[in-house]
Amino acid sequence: MPDRIEPCLALLKPKPPKGDDWVYEIKWDGYRLAVHIEPSGVRILTRGGHDWTDRFPAIAAEAKRLPVSTAILDGEAVVFDEHGRSDFGRLQQSLGGRGGKRTSREAVLMAFDLIYFDGHDLTGTELTARRHLLEGLVSAGGEEAIRLSEEIEADGDTLLRIACEHGLEGIIAKDRNSTYRSGRLGDWIKIKCVQSDGFVIVGYEKSSASFGGIGRLLLAARKGSDLVYVGGVGTGFNERSAAELRTQMDKLVIGKPAIDTGRKRKAVFVRPEFVAEIEYRAWTHDGKLRHASYKGLREKQDDAAIYTLE
């Protein structure tokens, strides 16, 4: 049984693909996990390969109850809101914020692939067969901590429209004949209702009227080997998330900005170490985020990706 398998990642596209070779799932908004089940016990690994078994005790306990001696489940840990939508901010809070050590008993693993099963490596097996085995192992619905992320046979454009109307993050399209290939190779495609990416926090503007005293976060994206300023975000915080973020940022304060942010009043600059997940609608003509909203901090262990400008 392999110690770890690099995950297959979804390629971002603006529209769903056409044709009978594609099947669809809901796009979940959480942490990508691989759950390794062995006779010696269960290991839960993040996308970056870090062991987070202790942080998801309910998922680990449920994995031990599955009727299999060896398996690797691929899925997304999520926490649902009152409308049944996955909520990245709630997952973050259940884990105690970025760098927190809290365990999340609310998190549910939405399992969408099976890449090892009863002594057999399934990475060379087509998706249809892997899904058939997964559906025999994990049930859909219910209240269990591991649930099946169901495939939806539908027209991609129609499904995307319905997902967006219900406030979901988007959909995933998968080539039903594809094997499990690590990396972002186009076998899986993600189509988002709203754009959401990781940006580096390089500072914040103070405000006595805002949660945590944060008027606006100052954000940067990658351009080549450098970071460039892409504007700020001043919405999406609640009292708790803003207070936790302010406490963590104040440990990274520096005298001069790490990059050119233009002239800023009441700005506090920090070392560019934190990656924030930001939802946004578009870009301005001069390369700044439009209608941005803060969703939470990404973890280093989650292999936090930073948006790269062309």
The active-site residue out of 13, 15, 27, 288 is 27
| Helix (H), strand (E) counts: the chain | 5, 19
Q: Is 27 a catalytic residue?
A: yes
Q: For the chain, percent helix, then strand, then coil, each to nearest 5?
A: 20, 35, 45
* Alpha carbon distance 196, 278 (integer Å): 5
* Alpha carbon distance 299, 31 (integer Å): 9
- Alpha helix ranges (H) inside the chain: 57-65, 88-94, 127-137, 156-165, 239-249
Burial label for 223, CB within 10 Å (0-12, 13-18, 19+), is middle
And the tokens for 301? 């262990």
Active site residues: 27
